[in-house]
Structure 1
Amino acid sequence: MSNSIQLNERVNLTKSQINVLRKQGQIPAIVYGKDVGSISVIVNEKEILAAVKNNQRAILIAAIPAQGNKPVLIQNIQRDPISNKIVHVDFYQLNMNESLDSKVTIHFSGEPAGVKAGGILQVEMYEVEVRCMPDNLLSAFEVDISGLGIGDQLHVSDLAFHEGIEVLSDSGAVLIRVSQTHAEEIVA
Structure 2
Amino acid sequence: MSEHTIKATGRNVEGKGASRRLRRAAQLPAIVYGGSAAPQAIQIEHETIWLASHHEWFYSSILNLDVDGKVEQVLLRDMQRHPYKQLIMHLDFQRVDASQTLRTKVQLRFLDQEKSVAGKTSGVVVMHELTEVEVSCLPKDLPEAIDVDLSALEIGQVVHLSDLKLPAGVEIPALKLGKEHDVAVVVAKHGKEEAEEIAAPETAEVPATKAAKKDDK
Normalising by structure 1, what TM-score?
A: 0.86
Which aligned runs of 4 or more in structure 1 are off by greater than 4 angstroms? 50-53
Q: CA deviation at 1:59?
A: 2.0
Aligned to 2:30: 29
Identical-residue share of aligned pairs (%):
29
1:8-34, Cα deviation, whole Å (9 max, x unpaired): 223343423311211211111110112
After superposition, the CA RMSD in angstroms is: 2.2
Partner of 1:92: 94
String of CA shifts for 1:69-104, please: whole Å, max 9, x gaps: 211121221111201311001111111111110111
Residue 155 of structure 1: how far off its partner (Å): 0.3
Aligned to 1:164: 169
The reply on whether 1:113 has 2:117 as its aligned counterpart is yes
Q: State whether residues 143 and 167 of structure 2, in contact with CA within 8 Å, keep that contact through their aligned partners in structure 1.
A: no
The residue number in structure 2 matching 1:63 is 66
- Go from structure 1 to structure 2 and tell me whether the alpha carbon gap of 1:35 and 1:51 turns closer, same or farther (over 3 Å shift): farther
In the alignment, is the contact (CA less than 8 A) between 1:31 and 1:90 conserved in 2? Answer: yes
SS at match of 2:39: strand
Measure the CA separation in 1 of the matches of 2:47 and 2:165. Answer: 36
| Greater strand proportion | 1
Change (3 A) 1:6 1:182: closer
Distance 1:10 1:79 in 2: 21
Is 1:181–2:211 an aligned residue pair? no
Report the counterpart of residue 5 of structure 2 in structure 1.
4
- Kindly indicate whether residue 162 of structure 2 is the aligned counterpart of residue 150 of structure 1: no
Query: How many Å separate the matches in 2 of 1:52 and 1:83?
Result: 15
Unaligned 5+ residue runs, structure 2?
A: 176-180, 196-217
Higher mean alpha-carbon deviation, 16-25 vs 108-117, is at 108-117
1:39-83 superposed Cα distances (whole Å, 9 cap, x missing partner): 222122233334444411232222336x93211121221111201
Evaluate the alpha carbon distance shift between residue 52 and residue 2 of structure 1 in structure 2; reply closer, same or farther with a 3 A threshold. farther
Q: What is the deviation of 1:113?
A: 1.1
Number of residue equivalences:
183
Residue identity in the other structure for 2:50: L
What code does the residue aligned with 1:93 have?
R
